[in-house]
Amino acid sequence: MVNYGGDEVSALVIDIGTSSVRAGYAGDDAPKAVIPTTFGFHRAPPDADSAMPDAADPTRSGTGKFTKMYMGQYGPSVWREGMEVTNPLTDGLVHDFEPVAALMRHAVVDVMRCNPTEHPILVTEPAWNTPANRERMAEIMFEEFQVPAFYIANTGVLNAFAAGKGSALVIDVGQTIASVTPIVDGFVLRKGLVYSSLPQLVHAHARHTLVTPTVQRRGGIDLYPHQLITNKMPVEVGAPPRYTLREDRVKGTTESWRMWYEAREVDEWSQSVAGVLEQGWNDQAAASRPPRQYEFPTGYNAWFTSERYSVGEQFFWHSPQLMASNAGLPKTIPALISESLRACDPELRQVLVGNVVLTGGGSLFAGFGDRLSSELARSFPHVKIHSPGNPVERRYGGWLGGSVLASLGTFHQLWISKEEWTEHGKAIVGQRCK
């Protein structure tokens, strides 16, 4: 028991990201429940004789502004008439706690079948979280979930712990935010913390690549999700698609749901086709790569050649004219890294560069790790990048670090207990969770 320093007290770990909420037992190697953070809801009660088979759906009646919330696996991805879709997080921070509490309850109670009053819960937060936010989270946990103990830990620190490091430079590429966090002895160096909404830019670029009309693709590509398509015919490569829409559904589809699903189609395309060149942009190298075929839900299919590499290039390099025309352009990954290191002590730089941890689902973008190592090797002599090959570890690195931390015997003195919460109030959160 003491040998590996672990002592499991059946703690739960909840990691809330923009794309998904991860929940599971501390000490496990993967979360038990992974549900999308985006949820569907109805503002007005739906028609009683709805044709949708929602009986099996784990839906939940909202209490406040949402009449009905649709969460989890059969939540937002199922088409429902008039269902709106929203995400309670902006830039990685929770802006709306009501649905977040519902999401956590869904993950813990409905998916994991746990009683939160029996388990200490560790929740994660991004490094740029506000004190008000973490106090609100503690309040929800103690007042609403009645947890016996609670702790809120930084995702950067947890990612470093998941990689087995106390000091690291954590490069976390999520769905909306890419961040570079220097960690020293398990503490975030706040002055060195930098982040930008780079993944959103990459997404926008990918979407632009697809929907913009070109010579081959007159009118661009329709990104209708398959829920809206009645039937389609196989077509030749590059030929206009032949499909018919479900007119009955199209008129009942909300704009937010459609935008969300189109974004999903774009993401799916960039995850399967797009990539980044390992050695920097080079027209010949991009052209020499084999083209890749992709078929959209409409039946349209095409070979994508060098354009698929220009998408990933947005992560690492922006053309000067783009930067000149766009002052608020999010910084590229190399710019973030150099800015972060500049803010650190010169003695620390070498340590951090030797302990780079690459994490986040966005870092699974094809060729990302190789490109990053070549970019870093260009400016630093001794670079070592820790990037797990296992996609689960990469995507849920923050959760995994929380799982490690909350199962350590030495950690149990750090929990904020319910007693302390009632005694000290919100101030205890800032004191305990540094």
Partner 1 sequence: MSNSADVRSILSLPSASATPAPSHKKPTLPSARKPDGISRELFSLIGPSSTTLVAQLAKPRLKQKPNLGAGSKIKWEWRAFKNGGRTDSLQLRHWVKASTDPDAEYPFAKYNVQRPTFTYTQEEYTLWLHDNDWTKEETDYLMAIVQEYDTRWYVIQDRYEYSGTVPRSMEDLKDRYCSVCRKLLRNRPWTGDESTKQQLLSSFAFDKEREVLRKRYVTSLENRTPEQIAEEEALYMEIKRLEQNERRFKRDRDDLLRTIAGIESGLPDVVEDEVQLTGLTLDSKRSKKKGGGAGDLDSPSTPLIAAPLPKRAALPPPTLPKNSAYDLQHCITRTDAAGAAGAGASTKAAHQPAYLRSFKMPFPKSSIAPKVTQVLVELGVSPTRLVMPTQGNVALLEELMDATAVLVETKKVVDKVEYDIQVLKNRLGMQSTAGANAEEGDGGGDAMEVDAGDDADGDADGEGEDGRAQSVVSTRSARSRKHGRRSLSISSVDTSATISTRAGTKRQRRN
From the CB of residue 133, how many other CB atoms can be counted at a distance below 10 Å?
17
Give the binding range for partner 1 (CB under 8 A) out of 5-13, 37-45, 268-276, 306-314. 5-13
Residue 191 or 208: the one with the smaller Cβ distance to partner 1 is 191
Give the binding range for partner 1 (CB under 8 A) out of 14-22, 188-196, 205-213, 325-333. 188-196
Go through 140-168 and write b for each residue having 16 or more CB atoms within 10 A of its CB, e for each that does not.
Answer: bbbeebebbbbbbbbbbbbbbbbbebebb
DSSP state of 41: E
Residue 105 or 349: the one with the smaller Cβ distance to partner 1 is 349
Q: Applying CB under 8 A, which of residues 5, 45, 164, 238 lies at the interface with partner 1?
A: 5
- Choose among 133, 224, 97, 157: nearest CA to 414: 157
Contact call for residue 374 and partner 1 (CB under 8 A): no
Q: Applying CB under 8 A, which of residues 38, 243, 415, 433 lies at the interface with partner 1?
A: 415
Instruction: Take residue 381 and report the two structure tokens written for it.
Output: 């002599």
What are the residues whose beta carbons fall under 8 Å from the beta carbon of 45, sequence distance 6 or more? 67, 68
CA distance 25 to 9: 10
Task: Judge whether 298 and 387 are in contact, CB under 8 Å.
Answer: no
Residue 335 or 351: the one with the smaller Cβ distance to partner 1 is 351
Contact call for residue 8 and partner 1 (CB under 8 A): yes
Q: Applying CB under 8 A, which of residues 28, 98, 278, 420 lies at the interface with partner 1?
A: 420
Contact call for residue 148 and partner 1 (CB under 8 A): yes
Contact call for residue 187 and partner 1 (CB under 8 A): yes
Letters for 114-133 (x = contact with partner 1 by CB under 8 A, - = none) are ------x-------------
Contact call for residue 342 and partner 1 (CB under 8 A): no
Task: Judge whether 69 and 76 are in contact, CB under 8 Å.
Answer: no
Residue 1 or 48: the one with the smaller Cβ distance to partner 1 is 1
CA distance 34 to 36: 7
Give the binding range for partner 1 (CB under 8 A) out of 48-56, 229-237, 359-367, 404-412. 404-412
Helices 333-342, 346-353: axis angle to 10 degrees equals 140
Task: Judge whether 29 and 400 are in contact, CB under 8 Å.
Answer: yes
Letters for 78-97 (x = contact with partner 1 by CB under 8 A, - = none) are --------------------
From the CB of residue 60, how many other CB atoms can be counted at a distance below 10 Å?
21
Task: Judge whether 112 and 120 are in contact, CB under 8 Å.
Answer: no
Contact call for residue 149 and partner 1 (CB under 8 A): yes
Residues that bind partner 1 (CB under 8 A): 1-2, 5, 7-10, 120, 148-149, 184-185, 187, 189-192, 344-349, 409-410, 412-413, 415, 417-420, 423, 434
